[in-house]
Structure 1
Amino acid sequence: MAEQAAELLLGRVRDGEWELGQKLPGEVTLASQMGVGRSTAREAIRILAGKGVLASRQGSGVYLTALDVREEWDAVLGRAEIRSVIEARTAIETEAARLAALRRSPAELRAVRRALDDRAARRDGLEDHVDADTAFHRSIVLASGNPVLTGMFDRFTPRMREAMVEMLRRRGEFGDDGDQQAHADMVEAVAAKDPEAAARLSREHLAALAAGLE
């Protein structure tokens, strides 16, 4: 009954009955409107609070905090098209490159250079190359010193890997000298502590990937 009541209540939210941030009627009123007992209405509210739709504020009431149920992040990523993956990479990696140029330590720069050399050495097998490429870009994200960007990158990595393998398989070629040089240029911008160049080179690299989809 509580699950059914939660679905009914969620339907009213989706229909726009309340605005974001608005206080909902009390449990007694909601129970009466849904034709259930007060305990069932309370449980329905608890279910939707657990899904991020409602929030109970002590001594104040229940408020609408989202207009729909949060979809599981992994499910969203699993359905993402390659173009969407590249756009998300651009958002994360361009800022990470800019910050890395500002904040990188000597040890982090050495790690970035090692990752670049490893990427250059692993250009024979497609999947092995994608893994080396991912490790390279992660080294720059780590050098940004922003744990949120690192966490986003790590959570994003499995779908990103799938997308890159799929894209390069379609293209039929990968890891040429021009591509490796583009990554080397990015490293030199980080080494030179030039945030604008680092961000621009990161953006241009990913824009070229996106253009290859057309």
Structure 2
Amino acid sequence: MKILSKKTLAETAMQAIRAEIAAGRWPVGSRLPNETVLSGELGVSRSTLREAVRALVAQGILETRQGAGTFVRALSDDRAQLDRLRHASLRDRFEIRALLEAEAARLAALRAGPDAVMEMRRLLHERGERMGAKDGDFLARDFAFHQCVVAASGNKVLMEIYNFFSTSVREAIEATFDSDLPEPDLAAHTAIVDAIAAHDAEGAARATRQFMLPILERLKDLLDE
């Protein structure tokens, strides 16, 4: 008779919990049974169950709340989804970035106040031009600016989606350092902020799409070659 290791038991418990979530027993937002009940249902020790729960929390599927219990946070593994994004084409990732940032800029133009616009200009000044800058430092400054624009949209769902994509987006931006893709200059960025400051929603979205157009066109050419 094969004796299962604690690690194997924890993995089996994880699979069982995920199967119950997928089957709809515990929808997103619902609380799992307490530790004693659930360990009994799964036929594992409480320590093994805790190990399984910790792993599912790390994956973003479960969430533990002090004094309240363990709740279902998502139906699937966020890390697995991000891994699939990393294998998507560079063009696909830039197209999604363009969609998200154009809508964020449009909403920012409708909602951003003077302080938000001032912060965008400050971050844009710190970003500067790529020429002569260290790639890692420049990337961090560039991304901080774009995150500020998204935050100024005031749309929490949009911010969450953008944050979910942030790893892939940053990798996509970084990829331009090692290719012949065009890097939008400071003027292209300034046009976005100017439109937001003028509360020109369509102008802000248009400036963002224009900002991304040379990159998307070059990626299309690369695919056609």
Q: State the TM-score bracket (shorter-chain normalisation).
A: 0.5 to 0.7
1:213 aligns with 2:219: yes
* Distance apart, 1:88 and its partner CA: 1.0
Contact 2:129/2:186 (CA < 8 Å) preserved in 1? no
Structure with max Cα Rg: 1
1:119 aligns with 2:127: yes
Q: Which residue of 2 aligns with 1:86?
A: 94
Distance 1:70 1:185, change over 3 A: closer
Identity %: 35
Contact 1:123/1:129 (CA < 8 Å) preserved in 2? no
* Distance apart, 1:83 and its partner CA: 0.7
Distance 1:189 1:70, change over 3 A: closer
Find the aligned partners of 1:139 and 1:69 in 2 and give their Cα distance: 27
Find the aligned partners of 2:79 and 2:146 in 1 and give their Cα distance: 27
Specify every segment of 5 or more residues in structure 2 that has no aligned partner in the other structure, as ranges.
1-55, 57-75, 221-225
Q: Which of 160, 163, 168 is 2:177 aligned to?
A: 168
2:170 is matched by which residue type in structure 1?
R
* Distance apart, 1:170 and its partner CA: 0.7
Specify every segment of 5 or more residues in structure 1 that has no aligned partner in the other structure, as ranges.
1-50, 52-67
Q: Tell me the TM-score normalized by structure 1.
A: 0.63
1:134 aligns with 2:140: no
* Distance apart, 1:174 and its partner CA: 3.9
Q: Which residue of 1 aligns with 2:160?
A: 151
1:185 aligns with 2:194: no
Distance 1:181 1:121, change over 3 A: closer
Q: Which residue of 2 aligns with 1:95?
A: 103
Find the aligned partners of 2:211 and 2:166 in 1 and give their Cα distance: 18
Distance 1:69 1:115, change over 3 A: closer
CA-based RMSD of the aligned residues comes to 4.7
Distance 1:205 1:122, change over 3 A: closer
Find the aligned partners of 2:146 and 2:77 in 1 and give their Cα distance: 33
Residues 197-208 of structure 1: pairs in structure 2 closer than 5 A: 197-208=203-214
Q: Once structures 1 and 2 are overlaid, which stretch shifts more, 186-195 or 160-169? A: 160-169
